[in-house]
Structure 1
Amino acid sequence: MLRPLPVQRCLLALFAVSATACTTVPSFSNSQYVNPLDGANVVENSTRYSKSLECLKPLLASRAASSKRYAVGRVNDFSGKEDLTNGKRLTQGAALMVISALSKTGVPMVERFDTSIADMELKYADNKLITDNPDTKEHRRIFSGSLPGSDYHIVGGITEVNYNIKSGSIDSSIRFLGLGARYFVMDVAVDLRLVNTKTLEIVNTQSLQKQIIGTELSGGYFRLFSDGLVDINAAERTQEPIQKGVRMVIEQAVFNMLTQVNNVSASQCARLSSLNPADLPPANSAVKATTSAAPAPRQAAAPLNLDNTTSVGNTGRESVMIDPQTGEVVPLGAIPSTQLARPAPVSSEPAGQEVKQLNGLFGPPGLPSDAANANNNRAMQEKLLYGSRPELR
């Protein structure tokens, strides 16, 4: 058996000490701790369709929809896309996105997605183990009918994710300069349904999809000199977030459901989703939405001369009155008594139907009118929208 020489023993000892030193965890003092990078600020997670949902809040609040309660059930990923390294390709929180979309519209909601805490506390209360007043130790009481039920609930799932629907590229090289561009298109689809909780009738269904686009631009410079080599490459890749695309589809589906079920004409709200972010109103300003086209801006009316020198009787001032048909301030006697006694017009809309046109002050739709009548109709419409009292200027 060969024994190591003294020199070999020294080398082995030195190697063992070095290995021990390398595996020792270094210690840091408080002043040597590295500050982590904070990165970008936290912002609200909204999409271009979020403004449309917020615009629905005043419209739904004035209707019977404000008394209907909504719940959200399971909205799972049914696409089946998965890999061994990264797991699920699509978000597993689609139900949470539906809840967030509903909350932006202001409709009442009840929790049905995760009731584990409520069920546990209900069990504790049934066993008289939980209290709401730790001082008196009085147990929580259970009352019948204390939990409000839901009128409608939303269920569904993510049904499609299709990769590389279309792709293309172009590459060119001119002497020492090279340029290239590539793109690809994929899409995701969501199917949601609105169910009447009491009757289990499917009230509304939405099947929507969104295409997601990715682009890549690259360039390079390559040249070989006699004494060296120059190789410069640059590239930029941009892709819409896939999970953000799922949120967009869900928000648009919720928007369609609420407008169709509640018979809300929300063309002005739907238009907000097609505007550029720079053209959107600020977040702190109230979004005004109407069920018809936006009224024309108010024109400054000529001041009324109520101090006319022409006297009627011995008053020294011309007597005026309010036209009951138009709301205008007119001289007394300018309106025949037959028009004053004319009964109010009866609406031709059947009972229970949404009134889309007002015929009383503007006349029946479809009648020819000149420019003067059009201006007069616009002024009367503004009075109805902004208040029926005449303004004396």
Structure 2
Amino acid sequence: MTSITFARPRPMPTTAVRTLGAAVALAALAGCVTAPQERAAPKEAPIVLGPAVRDNVTPMEAVLACYGDHVAATSRPPIVVSVGDVKDYTGKYSINEGNAITQGGALMVYSALGKMGGAVQVAERFDPVIAERELGYADRRQLGDGRSHQLAGPTGNQVVPWLPYFGGSINKSDYFIVGGITELNYNINSGGAEFAVNQVGIKARTFSQSVGVDLRIVDTRTLMILKTISLTKQFNGYEVGFNVFRFFRNDLFDVDVGAKGQEPVQLGIRAALEEAVVRLVAAVTKVDPKPCLGMRVFDELPRQSAESLRKVPNPIVDSSGARVLTGEAVNAASNASPVSAGDGASVQIPFEFGAAALTGGTLNLLDQIAAAAAKAPTEVVLVARDTENWDAGKRDLLTDQRIGVVTSALISRGIAPGGISVSWRPDKADTAIHRDGPGLQEVAKLRVQGAGSGKGGPVQPAREENTRRGS
């Protein structure tokens, strides 16, 4: 009879048990923190891949889109705003982590202005180094564009390879924004609880901190501060955990499991700066921001950027800074009722704010006016936005330019110079706004008479002073 003896297995050494336990724990932890990895090329170490790039949205996206639409809907020429230095004045610095507050406050303000769309034009003043260098090259006749240019000289025209520059290519700004981030208050409020039995316990706590920003908007021409604003933003954080710290026989176990999180400080600073920008721009555009400010939501981030939320298209601005009629404005002008011939017929010629150029469907109206004036005298009323309120000298000069533009356009359409006269224009002492329809004021009135109309008395020059009201 054969006997079989089974050997009793030896107990695993304590060191091996610890090593195995550590390996199992490490594998479990690794499974919790794995991230996608990609090997870019053979024999290279794999790299970790994260989420895709997205728009840097804040809780203020809807507010910026809404306010940009409100300003654009006024049909005013866009104001030109620049940004100075928006510094970190808190002085909070860590040797390990560096500055606690972003050093890019000015860049955040620039982005906030850009989110409003073309309702606000943004002028670069923060870093004009490249432009200044190119102007220096142009001044030294070193800057070219690959083409030859004709330049008038004492001996006649000459062809030069450099780009002629006569100054005035840089557009001015109307206002600029400056200021800084002035407060960072740590742990202004905290609370929580911790419970343990036999060195096994749980804990939970919350904490808050805050930042403050102070900005101002300044008139570029006069350097007068038009509005100052001071805003503060609180940030909340939390921490929860489970802790074991005790001996089991001869072994000491120290286990910590938990999580903590905090609202991103720099995101909150960006949101505070964006709200400050809306309020400062409102101070100079006179467009009430309250209906839009009610749209801010801080309990979730929007899924769309301000640009995609905007509904009013960006205005098109010509080289002089005047708004060019587009979309519905052009259609309204081009689809205007035909000018009927007959004594007493009156037609409006609109001008944009501060501009003396004819744009959009106005040119079609001039064709109709010339055709109607050939049959009977026609009154042409030059109108502008009722927000125009210039001093007497500037108003007179602008009126002369507008009358001259319309007169030249009618002459080019076959109306004799003597057939155009000014029937009214405001006197220099007349400071009243002569309204003509919603949002419009009368600038001047012309009487246009073609050679074939056969009506009316002698006409007077288009700029005759005795046609002024009150003279």
Structure-2-length-normalised TM-score: 0.51
Pairing partner for 1:261 from 284, 304, 317: 284
Pairing partner for 2:95 from 84, 91, 108: 84
Q: Residue 129 of structure 1 aligns with which residue?
A: 142
Give yes or no for contact 1:155–1:192 (8 Å, CA) kept in 2. yes
Q: Residue 168 of structure 1 aligns with which residue?
A: 191
SS of residue matched to 1:32: coil
Pairing partner for 2:132 from 119, 130, 134: 119
Q: What RMSD, in angstroms, separates the aligned Cα atoms of the two structures?
A: 3.0
Pairing partner for 1:152 from 175, 188, 204: 175
- Structure 1, gaps ≥5 residues long: 1-28, 290-350, 354-393
**Aligned pairs (5 A) from 1:1-393:** 31-63=42-74, 66-106=77-117, 107-133=120-146, 138-174=161-197, 177-221=200-244, 225=248, 232-274=255-297, 276-277=299-300, 286=309
Q: Name the amino acid aligned to 1:105.
A: M
Give yes or no for contact 2:190–2:207 (8 Å, CA) kept in 1. yes
Give yes or no for contact 2:115–2:306 (8 Å, CA) kept in 1. no
- More displaced, 269-278 or 192-201? 269-278
Question: Residues of 2 paired with 1:43 and 1:286: CA distance?
Answer: 16
Give yes or no for contact 2:81–2:173 (8 Å, CA) kept in 1. yes
Q: Residue 364 of structure 1 aligns with which residue?
A: none
Q: Residue 414 of structure 2 aligns with which residue?
A: none
Show CA shifts across 1:275-308 (max 9, x none): 654887787864569xxxxxxxxxxxxxxxxxxx
Deviation at 1:241, TM superposition (A): 1.7
SS of residue matched to 1:243: helix
Deviation at 1:147, TM superposition (A): 1.2
Higher strand share: 2
Give yes or no for contact 1:152–1:195 (8 Å, CA) kept in 2. yes
- Residues matched between the structures, number: 264
Structure 1 270/134 Cα, relative in aligned 2: closer, same or farther at 3 Å? same
Question: Residues of 1 paired with 2:237 and 2:299: CA distance?
Answer: 20
- More displaced, 131-140 or 274-283? 274-283
SS of residue matched to 1:31: coil
Structure 1 272/217 Cα, relative in aligned 2: closer, same or farther at 3 Å? same
- Sequence identity of aligned pairs in percent? 38
Give yes or no for contact 2:57–2:305 (8 Å, CA) kept in 1. no
Deviation at 1:80, TM superposition (A): 1.5
Deviation at 1:274, TM superposition (A): 2.3
Deviation at 1:161, TM superposition (A): 1.0
- More displaced, 31-40 or 129-138? 129-138
Deviation at 1:31, TM superposition (A): 2.1
Give yes or no for contact 1:216–1:238 (8 Å, CA) kept in 2. yes
SS of residue matched to 2:57: coil
SS of residue matched to 1:139: coil
Deviation at 1:65, TM superposition (A): 5.6
Give yes or no for contact 2:58–2:301 (8 Å, CA) kept in 1. no
- More displaced, 222-231 or 110-119? 222-231
Give yes or no for contact 1:49–1:251 (8 Å, CA) kept in 2. yes
Give yes or no for contact 1:50–1:251 (8 Å, CA) kept in 2. no
Q: Name the amino acid aligned to 1:248.
A: A
Structure-1-length-normalised TM-score: 0.60
- Structure 2, gaps ≥5 residues long: 1-39, 150-159, 313-385, 389-471
Deviation at 1:160, TM superposition (A): 1.1
Give yes or no for contact 1:76–1:92 (8 Å, CA) kept in 2. yes
Question: Residues of 2 paired with 1:251 and 1:94: CA distance?
Answer: 10
Q: Name the amino acid aligned to 2:223.
A: L
